[in-house]
A and B are shown apart, each in its own frame.
Chain A
Amino acid sequence: MAVDWSKRATWHWAMALLVALSVAWIALSRADPVSMGEGAAADPLPRKGYVAPDLRLQTLNGEMVSLSDLRGQVVILNFWATWCPACRTEMPALDQVYRAYRDQGLEVVAVNVQEDPAGTEAFVQELGLDLPVLVDLDGTVSTRYRVTSLPTTYVIDRAGVIREVTVGGPLSRAYLASTVTPLLAEKGGE
């Protein structure tokens, strides 16, 4: 039977049906606030809005660092290599931000991707960096974070949720400071 759209009654019925179906769909497709609300996604994923996957690596000094131990702090997680010009350029900015904000709860973690620790150590000494440099010798962590280009930088809030992902660089000190400042002011974590 053909619908006669020239009649007002047809439109009234169609609109009533549209509202009823839409409200039913909205009710049916409600989400679980625990797994989705406030960025508290259940599955750790290296994507904005999700909990950052855990990592456990050694620093150049041989000390073990894991991301889960840093919960409660704002973390800048930077994947880099000495052969990458943008990485080399942004490293002083990362270090300056680390020095300026570490007292407020900022941790900067620079993960060197698959390079000889001796060469990395020489670079760190040359620049006089304070920030902790972790060594991802076999590339396991960069693979878990789906890093396909260097530098790649994740900014993680006190609750361990990724709030910014930046592929490429060099990042400026101003940008890094503007990103971490509001996160440092947030409560939460632990």
Chain B
Amino acid sequence: MAPVIHVLGVALQTYPLAILAAAALAVWLAARAAQRTGADEGRIDDLGTYALLATALGARLVYAALHWSAYRATPLAVFSLSLTALSWPGGAVVGILVGGLYWWRRRLPVGPTLDALAPGIALGLAIERTGAFLGGVGLGAPTTLPWGVPILGASRHPVQLVEAAFLLGTTVLLWLRLERHSFPGQGFVQFVALYAGQRLFLEAFRAQTPLLPGGVRLVQVVALAALLGAVAYLYHQRFTRSAVRVDTPDQ
């Protein structure tokens, strides 16, 4: 674990650094993938950049709006360069809204765009998980099994690294299959299914997670719903839509 690294006398936090690297590489890979899915490379690049900038800016503005009583006296504190005072859920909403607006205005094709984004998102999450391991975020549960890694006084499941490895494998798989889709959007749906399956399985090895009554892990329930939704969509595309195509004579 190395939550802080010192470069030329400056202390840098590994987890936020990993998130920045993850965002940059996710956009870069999505733009490369766009060349192969039929989406516009430049527009995917712009989409990712605008969405990420809006997320970062939105995270601070939403935080300040939610805590305006604290900021009223010193409103310039809103523009602090500190990595604190950020509302990530608020930022995500702003990022999705801005990205969605750009998507709609530029009339980007839904399926090919989602397919281009999928490997980038998987790679970004893999880097974020590696950063989480280094930063001691989202610790694994204590274990006596031989693969346990000593972290903060206990031997723990290296769950973040396993997640990172799985996501890296997902990235490679999605990249290799970019031009072998049966329908536009298939790569993205496959990503949802793989990611949800991974969360469903590996969430069990995390030390802390939100719980439902009876000790059921909330993330697993959400992941199961996403997994079933993705599989049902793949099934629908494979059988129902092909049946409709066969039954409908060409005009």
* B71 and A174 form a contact (CB under 8 A): yes
Q: Which of A15, A26, A48 has the most CB of B within 10 A?
A: A26
Total A-B pairs in contact (CB under 8 Å)?
128
Residues in chain A near residue B136, CB distance under 8 A: 47, 146
Q: Which residue of A lies closest to B69 (CB)?
A: A181
Shortest Cβ-Cβ A-B pairs, 6 listed = A29-B204, A178-B67, A177-B70, A149-B11, A178-B70, A174-B77
Output the least CB separation between A118 and chain B (Å): 27
Closest residue of A by beta carbon distance from B80: A172
**CA of A128 to CA of B83, assembled, Å:** 29
Which residues 76-132 of B sit at the A interface, judged by CB distance below 8 A?
77-78, 80, 82-85
Interface size on A, residues (CB 8 A): 44
**Which B residues contact A (CB, under 8 angstroms)?**
3-4, 6, 11, 13, 63-64, 66-67, 69-71, 73-74, 77-78, 80, 82-85, 136-137, 139, 142, 152-154, 200-201, 203-204, 207-209, 211, 214-217, 220-221, 224, 227-228, 231-232, 235, 238-239
Nearest B residue (CB) for A6 = B238
Instruction: Give chain A's interface residues, CB within 8 Å of chain B.
Output: 8, 11, 15, 18-19, 22-23, 25-33, 36-37, 39, 41, 43, 45-50, 146, 148-149, 164, 166-175, 177-178, 181
Inter-chain contacts of B6 with A (CB < 8 A)? 149
- B4 and A167 contacting across the interface, CB-CB below 8 Å: yes
Residues on the A chain within 8 Å of B235, using CB:
11, 15
Taking A26-B224, A175-B80 as contacts, is the C-beta distance between A33 and B4 under 8 angstroms? no
Is A19's CB under 8 angstroms from B228's CB?
Answer: yes
| Nearest CB on B from A79, distance (A) | 12
Interchain CB contact (< 8 A) of B74 among A11, A31, A174 = A174
A-B contacts, 17 of them at CB < 8 A, read A11-B239, A22-B200, A26-B200, A26-B217, A29-B203, A36-B209, A47-B139, A47-B152, A50-B208, A148-B3, A167-B3, A168-B83, A170-B82, A172-B80, A174-B74, A178-B71, A181-B70
Contact in complex: B13, A15 (CB < 8 Å)? no
Cα A46 to Cα B1 with chains together (Å): 13
Chain A residues with Cβ below 8 Å from B142 are 43
Chain B neighbourhood of A174, CB < 8 A: 64, 67, 70-71, 73-74, 77-78, 85
User: With A19-B228, A146-B152 in contact, do A31 and B4 touch (Cβ < 8 Å)?
Assistant: no
- CA of A169 to CA of B220, assembled, Å: 36
Residue of A nearest to B136 (CB): A47
In the bound complex, do residue A33 and residue B215 qualify as a contact, i.e. CB atoms below 8 Å apart? yes
Chain B residues positioned under 8 Å from A166 (CB to CB): 84
A188 to chain B, nearest CB (A): 18
- Please determine whether B3 and A31 come into contact, CB atoms closer than 8 angstroms: no
> Closest residue of chain A to B75, judged by CB?
A174
B216 touches A146 (CB 8 A): no
